[in-house]
């Protein structure tokens, strides 16, 4: 099974900051990685798929990069609405099953 | 509008069964693979099951294999999760999610809470 490790687990930042969250896979998943945003009590929302493709309607301050085993989600200038939990997910078509990282809580400093 | 609505959650004793439903609307349900994903209290997301658009292939992680069964009725635009031999560690919010086509989830329901407790 492919394991995903996100870091940090918690990130404290201020409005306007640039922040980066990392997701590392236990084996290569090419670019088969998605990122989701989840607010308390709500369902996850797709932000990015195929490592770097922005979902329609997602603000351009969100970006994703990486391939193989190391990936990043970057928010260029934090807005108040961005304080939430973020999850990465792998969907490697050559490995059965799907897995998520443990999540990163982005909180206001 | 395009949406997924889960139902069927509740409190159940260990060892008992429960069936969840997910009603789809606003899109052609039979064109999409579907998944169940769960989230235990204050924990991360865990994939639970998937089913192809036509119901002909299903997959599960080891944590639920042999106990949970995913199914769908395309004539009713509904996805199901039959959960048997429930354990305390199955306590979670269960979400249904639509597969865009290559394994990521572009539409989620609001979830239904399952609590396994005596």
Radius of gyration of chain A (CA): 13
CA angle in degrees (0–180, nearest 5) for B67-A88-A22: 140
pLDDT at position A94 over 80: no
Q: pLDDT digit string (tens) for B1-55? A: 999 999 999 999 999 999 999 999 999 999 999 999 999 998 999 999 999 999 9
Q: pLDDT digit string (tens) for A44-90? A: 999 999 999 999 999 999 999 999 999 999 999 999 999 999 999 99
Q: pLDDT digit string (tens) for B50-98? A: 999 999 999 999 999 999 999 999 999 999 999 999 999 999 999 999 9
Which residues on A lie below 8 Å from B35 (Cβ)? 98
- Concatenating the DSSP letter of every residue in A26-58 gives SS--TT-EEEEEE-TTS--EEEEETTTEEPTT-
User: Minimal Cα distance from A51: which residue of B?
Assistant: B104
User: Minimal Cα distance from A41: which residue of B?
Assistant: B110
């Amino acid at each position: 099974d492919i394991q995903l490790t996100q870091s940090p687990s918690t990130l404290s930042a201020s409005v306007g900051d640039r922040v980066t969250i990392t997701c590392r896979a236990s084996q290569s998943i090419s670019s088969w990685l998605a990122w989701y945003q989840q607010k308390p009590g709500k369902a996850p929302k797709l932000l990015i798929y195929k490592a770097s493709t922005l979902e329609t309607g997602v603000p351009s301050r969100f970006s994703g990069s990486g391939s193989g085993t190391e990936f990043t989600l970057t928010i260029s200038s934090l807005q108040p609405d961005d304080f939430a939990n973020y999850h990465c997910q792998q969907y490697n078509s050559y490995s059965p099953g799907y897995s998520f990282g443990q999540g990163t809580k982005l909180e206001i400093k | 509008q395009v949406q997924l609505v889960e139902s069927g959650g509740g409190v159940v004793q260990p060892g008992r069964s429960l069936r969840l439903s997910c009603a789809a609307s606003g899109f052609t349900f039979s064109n999409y693979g579907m998944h169940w994903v769960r989230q235990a209290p204050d924990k991360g997301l865990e994939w639970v099951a998937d089913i192809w658009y036509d119901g002909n292939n299903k997959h599960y992680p080891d944590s639920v294999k042999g106990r949970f069964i995913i199914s769908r009725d395309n004539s009713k635009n509904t996805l199901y999760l039959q959960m048997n031999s429930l354990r305390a560690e199955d306590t979670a919010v269960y979400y249904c999610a639509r597969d865009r086509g290559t394994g990521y989830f572009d539409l989620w329901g609001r979830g239904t809470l399952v609590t396994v407790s005596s």
